[in-house]
Structure 1
Amino acid sequence: MPRTTPRTYALVPAAGQGTRMGDTLPKQYLAVAGLPMLRHSLAALAAVARVDRVIAILAPDDARWDAHDWSALAGRVEA
C-alpha cells in the first residue's frame, strides 16, 4: 500500500459578531493597516509551507465575506 503524506489544515474561527466590542462590524472585518483583521491571520497561515489549506470558519449568516477581495489568497484559503 502506498504511503501518503498527511495533509495539514489550519482552521480559523471567525464567526463572532463583535457585540462585546460594541462595534457594528464584527472584529474579524475591522481594518488593520487597510485590510480586514481576518485577512492578516489567513495570509500568515497561508504563508506557512507545511499548511496545505487554510479554512475560515464563518457564521452561517455571514454576509460580509463576499464583500472583500480574497483573491491574493486564492488556492490556499477557503471559507
Structure 2
Amino acid sequence: MAKMLAVRDHSQVIGEFIDWLSANGMTICRANGGLRGTLFHPVGIPTEELLAQHFGIDLEAVEVERRAVLAELRAGQH
C-alpha cells in the first residue's frame, strides 16, 4: 500500500489520460506486426490493472493488506 501512495500523483495523471482517451472514443490497443501492423485489438485491461502493472504494484497483496487494516480497525472499535 505504501508503494501505491508513493506513486499516487503519477498514477492519477495517467489514469485521467486513459479516461480522456475513452471519453474521446479512443482505447489502448495491441497491434499485430508491431506499431506498423494493420490489425489492432483493444488490450481489455482495466485502468487500475494497467497502472498497477506499470508501477509494479501487486493488486492482490494490496487487497490483502487493505482487508487486514480494516479488520484491525473493526477490532479496535469493540
TM-score by length of 2: 0.23
Higher RCO, 1 or 2 (CA under 8 Å, sep at least 6)?
1
- Max radius of gyration: which structure? 2
Q: Which has the higher helix share?
A: 2
TM-score by length of 1: 0.23
